[in-house]
Copies of this chain bind each other. A is one copy, B any other.
Amino acid sequence: MIAAATPAHVDLVVAAAEAGKAVFCEKPMALTIAEADLAITAAETAGVPLQVGFNRRFAPDFVAAHDAVAGGTIGTPHQLRSITRDPGLANPAGVPPWTIFLLTLIHDFDLLLWMNPGTRPVEVHAVADALVAPEFKDAGLLDTAVVVITFDNGAIATAEASFSAAYGYDVRGEVFGSAGMVTAGGGARSSMVHATSSGRHVETVRGDVELFLDAYTAEFIELADAVREKRAPAVRGEDARRALVIALACIESVKRGAPVSTSEMEPG
């Protein structure tokens, strides 16, 4: 179970794999394609499962949305959306540059890939700024980002992130297709509604543990099941690599102020 700081991930994955252990690695598994490949190869060579912590794939509402898409409910995906708005930025000074793409939106990239199965992202255009904490912009902190991803089946996806949602922890997804739409997320703390002289009110989820407790539990169960059943887990090193390609394309897109082809991210 690798939940160390990001730069330590790959070495730990390799060491664990070489020790013959099944590996669970928090996202992002790696920060470069070369490192991602190293981790994937190490697990393959050792013949151990390598699962990555894309917990949204185990949240009941996103699972239901995915199953509806996979079951054909919405036809062919045309437009997708994934949002991550964190409840706040505790320590802006401690946030490494490009965190919004590499650590935050990496979840959304994986979700979009999962929700649009059998396709490849072709082009990525990212816009980002420091709107929450502009005083840290010069230090490289980008706290607000919007990304447009074009897929080879024509589907167009947007991913949005903010490091500070006043109303709590906002994680949502939407897939719109030729036969309909699914949405998931919303952030209500429970079904409780109270109505007073100022209207109707719903309490909102404030933290990731509250929002994803079931998902965190389910992803560990998945690894245990994969080990017991001697099969690959549902979310693998390759998935981390695919999401990383998009994150790296975002960084390049912001630098250039232009769309970037995902193929450019692949090592020569």
Interface residue? A32 (CB, 8 A): no
Interface residue? A183 (CB, 8 A): yes
Interface residues in A151-173 (C-beta closer than 8 Å to B): 154-156, 158, 160, 162, 164-168, 170
Cα of A61 to Cα of B194 in the assembled complex, Å: 11
Interface residues in A167-185 (C-beta closer than 8 Å to B): 167-168, 170, 176, 178-185
Q: How far is the CB of A123 from chain B (nearest CB, A)?
A: 8
Cα of A193 to Cα of B259 in the assembled complex, Å: 32
Task: Name the one of B134, B178, B180 contacting A195, with C-beta atoms under 8 angstroms.
Answer: B180
Q: Flag if A194 contacts B182 (CB, 8 Å).
A: yes
**How many identical subunits does the complex contain?**
4
Contact code string A177-205 (vs B, CB < 8 Å = 1, else 0): 01111111111111111111111111110
Q: Flag if A176 contacts B68 (CB, 8 Å).
A: no
Closest to A65 in B: B192
The interface residues of chain B lying within 8 Å CB-to-CB of A1 are none
Cα of A155 to Cα of B134 in the assembled complex, Å: 12
With A79-B146, A154-B144, A158-B146 as known contacts, state yes or no: A167 contacts B196, CB within 8 Å. Answer: yes
Cα of A203 to Cα of B125 in the assembled complex, Å: 35
Q: Flag if A204 contacts B200 (CB, 8 Å).
A: yes
Interface residue? A232 (CB, 8 A): no
Q: Flag if B204 contacts A193 (CB, 8 Å).
A: no
Closest to A64 in B: B192
Chain A interface residues (CB < 8 Å from chain B): 60-62, 64-65, 68, 73-76, 78-79, 85, 123, 125, 127, 129-132, 134, 144-146, 148, 150, 154-156, 158, 160, 162, 164-168, 170, 176, 178-204, 257-259
